[in-house]
């Protein structure tokens, strides 16, 4: 399990609005290359984002589904990353002031080739990737609509 945190200088509702926009997924998730479709009702439990992962021209069609969700508080995803495997990813939003939110990503690889890597090795890959994802989420949430 790997955890990465970032203070984003906006409110939880603005951050969750980005998470709730399935079409923005490839804009902030490192590795997602293209959104093919988003189920109606995203991010309700069970809905999916159909995406491509990987660098062109070897992209693979895959999907991410919602396992649990509470608006403006958390979103838990089951992300497929073939051939690496599957990961459970939980994003939690905690207000730290009227205009700042701590966002954390906890990611656990649960199946596939990535699962055989020792946790310290997984963290070496996941932490920088998730730090970049949070930086992208920060940019979108803070500047969207300005």
Is pTM beyond 0.75? Reply is yes
- What's the half-sphere exposure (Cβ side, CA atoms, 13 Å) at 45? 5
> Average model confidence (pLDDT) for the chain?
90
Average pLDDT value for residue range 85-90:
90
Number of domains in the chain: 1
Is 70 exceeded by the pLDDT of residue 118?
Answer: no
Q: What is the pLDDT of residue 146?
A: 63
Average pLDDT value for residue range 84-105:
94
Average pLDDT value for residue range 113-123:
67
CATH number, domain at 122? 3.30.530.20
Domain that residue 127 falls in:
2-143
Is 90 exceeded by the pLDDT of residue 55?
Answer: no
């Amino acid at each position: 399990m790997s955890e990465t945190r970032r203070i984003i200088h906006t409110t939880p509702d603005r951050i969750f609005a980005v998470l709730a926009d399935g079409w923005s997924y490839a804009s902030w998730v490192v590795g997602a290359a293209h959104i093919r479709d988003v189920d109606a009702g995203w991010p309700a439990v069970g809905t999916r984002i159909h995406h491509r992962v990987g660098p062109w021209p070897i992209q693979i069609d895959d999907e991410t589904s919602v396992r649990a969700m509470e608006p403006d508080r958390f979103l838990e995803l089951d992300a497929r990353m073939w051939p690496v495997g599957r990961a459970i990813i939980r994003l939690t939003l905690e207000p730290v002031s009227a205009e700042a939110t701590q966002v954390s990503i906890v990611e656990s690889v649960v199946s596939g080739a990535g699962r055989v890597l020792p946790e310290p090795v997984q963290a070496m890959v996941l932490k920088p990737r998730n730090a970049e994802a949070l930086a992208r989420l920060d940019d979108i949430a803070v500047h969207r609509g300005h």
